[in-house]
Amino acid sequence: MDLGIADRRAIVCAASKGLGYAVAEHLAAAGVHLTINARNAEVLQDAADRLTICYGVEVKVVAADITTREGRQAVLEAEPAPDILINNAGGPPSGVWSDWDEADWLAAINGNMLTPIMMMKSVLPGMIGRKWGRVVNITSAAVKNPIPDLGLSNAARCGLTGFVAGTARQAASDGVIINNLLPGMHKTDRLKGRIGKDADRLGISVEEAERELAKSVPAGHIGRPGDFGATAAFLCSEHAGFMVAQNVLLDGGAFNSTM
Ligand code: NAP
């Protein structure tokens, strides 16, 4: 399918690896010029080189922490007029409610709620003025299906979800479409770390540990980042113009509900 977004310009935050990179790759395949961001400059440059060689699009890199004001400013200076914004960052640490003090809460709210909100605040005026824009926030299946030991993530991402629910409806009549994409378990470095720990704990191979984990997923396998990237690219496409303020769950059916 032609996504109709060739030569558009995108910012993809936290995109040297994992889900962010997969989204960047699918946008590049659709002919979108990219500004990609992550903290480790070397890994980020490698990612940019791969994208340029494979897809022939322009790729700018900004090595910075997107959860800081300076990091966001650097990204926006590199690409001041994006047509597409993908919000992404690392997730907060796990634990239980009694572990977290005010500083932990402020860090989680900053990283997973305020950072994407501040990015939207910066780019929405331009998108509204040009009468076209797409924003996809990478959140988590935990927004619908809370993970008990990820209370910081559950809460901060629900705050972002509430903001999007209202704002997306204010921006849609100007051609600016904002949605959230909710990953369930996907096989990125982050999840591979967890599978490795499961294998050690249970005294089984990594392959067996992955098969065990996949038993909780009706699709029968852990999510593929490439499939996630393709869904995100569709949400950024010309065809997604009537899809407003949705929370699109990509979890292989793990969340058991009728609707
Ligand atoms: P990943 O494989 O660890 O990749 C994370 C990417 O984000 C890397 O490129 C990393 O590069 C970059 N990054 C992290 N913190 C950053 C920051 N503060 N500023 C700029 N770049 C940053 O992780 P992932 O699995 O793709 O997860 C992406 C998001 O989806 C996370 O919020 C995660 O909690 C959420 N999620 C993932 C899953 C899953 O199963 N994979 C499920 C639910 C939710 P640097 O380290 O160099 O900065």
- Mean pLDDT along residues 103-128: 98
Residue 251 contacts residue 217 (beta carbons within 8 Å): yes
- Mean pLDDT along residues 114-139: 98
Q: What is the DSSP letter of 247?
A: E
Residue 35 identity: T
Residue 28 contacts residue 5 (beta carbons within 8 Å): no
Mean pLDDT of the chain: 97
- Mean pLDDT along residues 73-83: 98
Which domains does the chain possess?
9-186+224-250 (3.40.50.720), 187-222 (no CATH)
Residue 48 contacts residue 59 (beta carbons within 8 Å): yes
pLDDT on residue 130? 98
Confidence of residue 115 (pLDDT cuts 50, 70, 90): very high
Confidence of residue 140 (pLDDT cuts 50, 70, 90): very high
Write the CB contacts of 196 (distance below 8 Å, at least 6 apart in sequence): 206, 209
As given in the structure block, the two tokens for residue 91 are: 């997730």
Instruction: Please provide the DSSP assignment of 176-231 as one string.
Output: EEEEEEEE-SB-SHHHHHHHHHHHHHHT--HHHHHHHHHTTSTTSSPBPHHHHHHH
pLDDT on residue 179? 99
Q: Determine the distance separating the centroid of ligand 1 and the alpha carbon of 78, expressed in angstroms.
A: 21
Q: Determine the distance separating the centroid of ligand 1 and the alpha carbon of 84, expressed in angstroms.
A: 19
Q: Is the CB of 250 under 6 A from ligand 1?
A: no
Q: Is the CB of 16 under 6 A from ligand 1?
A: yes
Q: Is the CB of 140 under 6 A from ligand 1?
A: yes
Confidence of residue 193 (pLDDT cuts 50, 70, 90): very high
Tell me the C-alpha distance between 151 and 186, whole Å: 20
pLDDT on residue 6? 98
Q: Which of 188, 191, 195, 198 to mutate to test the pocket of ligand 1 (most atoms within 8 A of CB)?
A: 188
Residue 115 contacts residue 87 (beta carbons within 8 Å): yes
Q: Determine the distance separating the centroid of ligand 1 and the alpha carbon of 157, expressed in angstroms.
A: 14
Q: What is the DSSP letter of 241?
A: T
Angle of helix 115-130 relative to helix 151-171, nearest 10 degrees?
Answer: 10
pLDDT on residue 174? 98
The 10s digit of each residue's pLDDT in 45-76 is 999 999 999 999 999 999 999 999 999 999 99
% of the chain with per-residue pLDDT over 90: 99
As given in the structure block, the two tokens for residue 158 are: 């629900």
Q: Which of 39, 191, 221 to mutate to test the pocket of ligand 1 (most atoms within 8 A of CB)?
A: 39
Write the CB contacts of 12 (distance below 8 Å, at least 6 apart in sequence): 20, 23, 24, 27, 34, 35, 36, 37, 86, 88
Residue 31 contacts residue 101 (beta carbons within 8 Å): no
As given in the structure block, the two tokens for residue 30 are: 């659709």
